[in-house]
Amino acid sequence: MSVVAPKGFEAVGVSAGIKSSGELDLAIVSTRAPVPAAAVFTTNMAAAAPVRLSRKHLSVAPTARAVVLNSGCANASTGKRGRAVAELTANRTAELLGCAPEDILICSTGMIGTHLAPEAVTAGVADAIEGLGDSDADGTAAAWAIMTTDTEPKQVVVTAEGFTVGGMAKGAGMIRPDMATMLVVLTTDAAVTSSVLDEALRIAVDHSFHALNVDGCPSTNDTVIALASGASGFTPEPEDLAAALTGATVQLARHIAADAEGASRVVTIAVTGAVDDGAARNIGRQVSDSVLVRSSFYGADPNWGRIVGALGEVDEEVDFDDVTIAFAGTTVARSGVGVTVDEDAISAAMAGDFGVAISVGKGPGTARVFTTDLTPDYVRFNAERS
C-alpha cells in the first residue's frame, strides 16, 4: 500500500486518453474534507501552469481536498491555454467533490510544450472520482498513472508510533536538486497543523529529493505535496513527523535513482568535515554534477583525481591537504595524496551500487547525496523525445 495506507485517504488511476497508448494517465488522491496540506515546488523560473496554480491555491489557505495528477503532458510552456486547462481541471474536480477550487491541487508531467486536451481531463476526472477507493489496487493504480519514462511505480509506507505515512512518486530523468522532474504525493493520518506539516516536509525534502542528482537538469513541473488527514487522532512530536516523512522520502529518492534513465548503479556520496551541513550538501552536489566523475562511476574506475578536480570548483571551504576519499569502503586518497590500493578489487566492488566517502576538513558539516553513473544508454535514451 502507498498513499492509501494512512487512514482517511482514497486514490485512483484511470486512462483519460492523454497518452495515445491508452495507458493509465490520470490519478487522484483524495480525502473526505479539506485537510492540512503543504508542498515544495520547483525553483525553475519556467514553472508550468499546474505548479503556478497549486502555489496560488495553497497561498489562499494551506489545505486541500484532493490532488489531481496527469502524465503524458507537462502542460508547461503552454501560455494562456495551458493555464485555462489547469483551472478547468481544478474547477471540474471541485464541482464533483463539492468543495472550493482552491482546495484542489494540480500536477502534470510529460513532454514540455504540448497542450493538454480539456475534454480528456474533464472526462477523466469524472471517471476517476467515480472509481476512488482505499484498496491496495487503488493506490497502485494511482502510482502507475503518474509514470512517464519510469519503468515501475514507486511507492512507500512508513509506520511510526501512532501514525502512518504513505507515498508515491514518479521520476527517472531531469533529476537535479531544487528539485527534479518528479511528482510526489505523501499522505499521513497524523493530526497536525499545516505549519507543522510544512516544516516537517521541508526537512524531509532537504534530506532526500534535494540530495538527489541524476543528470544536473531541473524541470518545470516538480512538485512534492503532503496531506494530513488527522484520522489516526494521534498528534506526533514535530521531530517524529519529520523523521517519518524523511524516511519515506529517502526511500522514494533512492527508488527514483535506481530507476534513472539509462543508469546501471546508484552511488551514494557521503561528505563530512565541511563547515556546516549546507556546505557539505553543496559539495556533494558539485561532485555529482561532474560528467567526468559520473562517467568514471560507469567505468567502475576509482579515479579519485576526478573528484579532487570537482572539489576545486566548489564555492565552499575545502582543506585540500586534509581531503580523504574512499570508494566502496576503501580509502584511495588520504591527506590529499593517493595511497597504494588494489584497484581491481575496488573496481569489482563498484560493479553494483556503491558509496563514495569524501572528507574535506575538520568541520561538523555532513551530507548525503544520491546520484547514478552516466551511461551510453542515458545518452541514447535522451537523444530522442520522450
Same domain for 154 and 92, yes or no, is yes
pLDDT(135) > 90: yes
Would residue 148 show up in a list of annotated catalytic residues for this protein?
Answer: no
CA 181, 185, 190, 196 torsion-angle sign: positive
Query: What is the rounded average pLDDT of the residues 52-59?
Result: 97
Same domain for 289 and 224, yes or no, is no
pLDDT(257) > 90: no
Same domain for 313 and 246, yes or no, is no
Relative orientation angle of helices 277-289 and 291-298, to the nearest 10 degrees: 70
Could you list the residue range(s) of the whole structural domain that residue 67 is in? 10-258
Same domain for 282 and 371, yes or no, is yes
State which of 200, 225, 258 marks the end of a domain. 258
Q: What band does 179 get if pLDDT is binned at 50, 70 and 90?
A: low
Residue 299 lies in a domain: yes
CATH number at residue 68: 3.60.70.12
Helix (H, G, I), strand (E, B) or coil at 306: helix
Quote the DSSP letter at residue 101: G
Same domain for 199 and 303, yes or no, is no
CA 296, 285, 353, 111 torsion-angle sign: negative
Same domain for 242 and 313, yes or no, is no
Query: What is the rounded average pLDDT of the residues 30-59?
Result: 94
Same domain for 28 and 131, yes or no, is yes
**Given 63, 78, 122, 181, which residue is catalytic?**
181
Rounded CA gap, 168 and 249, in Å? 9
Q: State how many domains the chain has.
A: 2
Relative orientation angle of helices 304-311 and 277-289, to the nearest 10 degrees: 120
- Would you give the distance in Å from CA 367 to the centre of its chain? 17
Residue found by looking up cell 593517493 in the block: 338
Range from 190-194, 256-260, 270-274, 363-367 carrying the lowest mean pLDDT: 256-260
Q: What band does 214 get if pLDDT is binned at 50, 70 and 90?
A: confident
Q: What band does 87 get if pLDDT is binned at 50, 70 and 90?
A: very high
Query: What is the rounded average pLDDT of the residues 338-352?
Result: 96
State which of 208, 234, 258 marks the end of a domain. 258
Same domain for 114 and 88, yes or no, is yes
Helix (H, G, I), strand (E, B) or coil at 86: helix
Same domain for 110 and 224, yes or no, is yes
Same domain for 235 and 341, yes or no, is no
Residue 88 has φ and ψ, to the nearest 5°, of -60, -40
Nearest C-alpha neighbor of 181 from the set 207, 152, 216: 216
pLDDT(245) > 60: yes
Q: Which helix (H) or strand (E) holds 31?
A: strand 26-41
Residue 65 has φ and ψ, to the nearest 5°, of -100, -35
Mean pLDDT of the chain: 93
15's grid cell: 486512462
